[in-house]
Structure 1
Amino acid sequence: MKTRAITAFFFTIVMLASVLLGGTVFTLFYLVLSLLSLSEFYKLVKKAEVKPHLLLGYLAGLFLFGGLAARQFFNLDSKYLLLIIPAIFGVFIAELYRKEKNPFTNIGYTFLGLILVMIPFSFYYALGFIKDSEVYNFHFPLAFMLMLWASDTGAYLFGRKLGKNKLFERHSPKKTWEGFAGGVFVSVLVGLIVSFFFKEVNGFVWAGMAVLIVCFGTIGDLVESMLKRSLDVKDSGTLLPGHGGLLDRFDGLLIAAPIVFAYLYLVLY
C-alpha cells in the first residue's frame, strides 16, 4: 500500500507538470509516453506467441504523433502525416519475408497497437490545440485528466460503500453500477467546478464532457481488462510499482479521448 501511494503521488505530480509546463513539454512528454505504451502493448501480446512488427509499428506511431505535432505545434504542413503510409503498408511486405504460421495475426496485432494506443494518445494531445491549432492551451487536457481521476475516485468510493449490482462481471468483477453512478456524479461535479475557471465553453458542455469521459473511460477500462484476461496476465507491465503498467493507468483514455475530441470539436465548430 505504501509503494502504491508513493507511486500515485509522483505519478500525479508528473502528469500535472506535463500539462502545465507548456506546449513543448506537453508535446515531448506525450510522444515518449505514447511510444512507451505502444512498446508495453507489443511486449504484452508476445505472451500469446504473437510477433508484431516492432520497428514498423514504432515508426508508424512516431509518424502519426509526430506529424500531428508538426502540424499543430510547429505549424508545419500536414504532408508529414503521409510518412505513415509506407510504414503501414511496409508491415504487409515485411511479413511476406517471414516464415510464420499465422502472418495475419502478427499484422493484425501490429495495427491494433496503433489503433488502441497511438490514436487515442494523439487525440488527447490534440485537445491542447483544439481551440487554436497554433497556440497550446492546457485547459482541455487538464480538465480531461481531472474528470478522469474524479471518475475513478467516485467509482471506487461509491462502489466500495454501495456496490451490489455488477457492471460487467465477466471482464471486471469489482465494477458495479453503483460505482459507475458515483463516477458520473463526482466527474460532473468536477466538470461544473472547472467551468468557473475555464470559460471556453459553458458548464453544460463541461458536464457533458464529464459524462462522456465516465462512460467511455469505463469502456476503455473494460477493453483493457478483456485484453489482459485473453492473455492471462494480471498487469499490463511493471513500470509503475503498485499500479502495474502504463496501459493499466491510461486505460480510461483509450476510447474516451477520441470521443471527447469529436464532441468538443462539434461544440466549438
Structure 2
Amino acid sequence: MLTRAITGFFFIAVVIGAILLGQYSFVAFFSLLGTWCLFEFYGMVKSDVLRPHISVGLITAVVLGSLVSLYCLGIIPLNEVWLFVPLFSAVFIVSLFQKHAQPFHDIAYTFLGVIYASFPFLFFLSLGFIQGEYNPYIPLGFMIILWSNDTGAYLAGRSFGKRKLFERISPNKTWEGFIGGIVLAFFVSLNLAQYFGSLQKWEWATMSIIIGVFGTLGDLVESMLKRSLGVKDSGKILPGHGGLLDRFDGLLIAAPLVFIFLLLIQ
C-alpha cells in the first residue's frame, strides 16, 4: 500500500510538471507516453499465434506523434502531418515477407494498437493548443477531473456500492461508484472554472460529464482487453500500479470526445 501511494504521488507530480513546465515538455511527454502505451499494448497481445508488427507500429506512433507535436507548436503546416500515411502501407508490405499463419490478424492488431493506445494521446496533446496557443490549464483540468472521477468512484463504491456495473468485466465497479465519480468530477469542474478560467463554467461542467462517463467506460474497455488476454496489468513500470496504459485507460476514450466537444464550441 505504501509503495502504491509513493508511486502515485510521484506519478501525479511528473504529469503535472510536464504540463506546467511549458509547451515543449508537454508535447514531448505525452507523445512519448502514447508510444510507451502502444509498446505495452503490443506486449500484452503478442503470442506464438499473434505477432503484431511492433517495430513498424512504434515507428508509426513516433512519427505521427512528432508531426502532430510540430504542427501544434506551429513549426509545420497541417498538410505535412499526413506524411505518416506511408507507414500504414508498410504494415501490409512487411507481412508479405513473414511466414505467419494469420498475417491479417497481425496487421489488424498492429493498427488496433496505434488507434487504441496511441491516437488518444494526440487528441489530448491537441487540447493544450485548442485555443490557438498553448494553454496548460485545459489539459491539466482534464487530468484533475479524471482523477477526481476515479477518487469519487472509489469512495462511493466502497461506501455505498451494491449494484454491479459490469460484473463480467470488472467485479468491483458499481453503479453507486459510477455516479459518485461523476458527481465529484462535476463539483471539481465548477471550481476549475473559478481558478483556471480558460473555459466557461458550463464548458468545464460538460467536460466533467464526458470524462466521468467515458473515462469509466475507457477503464472498463481496458479491463475487457486484459481479461480477454488473461493478464493482470499492462506492464510493471509503476510499482503497485502496473503499466502506464493501466493509469491512462480513462483518457483513451474520453480525450478524443472532449477534444471534439471543445472544437465544436470554439
Normalised by the length of structure 1, the TM-score is 0.96
Aligned match of 2:171:
173
| Paired AA for residue 104 in structure 2 | F
Aligned match of 1:200:
198
- Superimposed CA distance per residue, residues 58-97 of structure 1 (whole angstroms, 9 cap, x where no aligned partner): 1211222111111111431223322211100110111011
Which sections of structure 1, spanning at least 5 residues, go unmatched? none
Whole-angstrom distance in 1 between the partners of 2:216 and 2:176: 13
Whole-angstrom distance in 2 between the partners of 1:150 and 1:35: 26
| Paired AA for residue 259 in structure 1 | L
Whole-angstrom distance in 1 between the partners of 2:74 and 2:200: 30
- Superimposed CA distance per residue, residues 104-132 of structure 1 (whole angstroms, 9 cap, x where no aligned partner): 11001100111111110000000000001
Query: 3-state DSSP class of the match of 1:81?
Result: helix
Aligned match of 1:187:
185
Aligned match of 1:215:
213
Q: 1:160 to 1:152 in 2, by over 3 A?
A: same
Query: 3-state DSSP class of the match of 1:234?
Result: coil
Whole-angstrom distance in 1 between the partners of 2:102 and 2:231: 22
Cα shift at 1:47: 4.0
- The sequence identity of aligned pairs, in percent, is 50
RMSD of aligned alpha carbons: 1.1
- Superimposed CA distance per residue, residues 146-180 of structure 1 (whole angstroms, 9 cap, x where no aligned partner): 00000000000000000000011111110000001
Runs (4 or more) in structure 1 with deviation over 3 Å come to none
Equivalent pair of 1:228/1:236 in contact (CA under 8 Å):
yes
Aligned match of 1:18:
18
- Superimposed CA distance per residue, residues 198-240 of structure 1 (whole angstroms, 9 cap, x where no aligned partner): 3332211111100000111011101100110011011111010
Equivalent pair of 1:52/1:109 in contact (CA under 8 Å):
yes
Equivalent pair of 2:149/2:182 in contact (CA under 8 Å):
yes
Cα shift at 1:257: 0.3
Aligned match of 1:42:
42
Aligned match of 2:97:
97
- Does residue 73 of structure 2 align to residue 73 of structure 1? yes
Q: Note the 1:138-157 alignment, pairs <5 A.
A: 138-157=136-155
Whole-angstrom distance in 2 between the partners of 1:141 and 1:121: 11
Task: Tell me which moved more, 255-264 or 28-37.
Answer: 28-37
Aligned match of 1:255:
253
Which sections of structure 2, spanning at least 5 residues, go unmatched? none
Equivalent pair of 1:216/1:252 in contact (CA under 8 Å):
yes
Task: Tell me which moved more, 36-45 or 249-258.
Answer: 36-45
Query: 3-state DSSP class of the match of 1:175?
Result: strand
Equivalent pair of 2:152/2:181 in contact (CA under 8 Å):
yes
Equivalent pair of 1:216/1:256 in contact (CA under 8 Å):
yes
Equivalent pair of 1:117/1:254 in contact (CA under 8 Å):
yes
Aligned match of 2:125:
125
Normalised by the length of structure 2, the TM-score is 0.97
Whole-angstrom distance in 2 between the partners of 1:243 and 1:130: 31
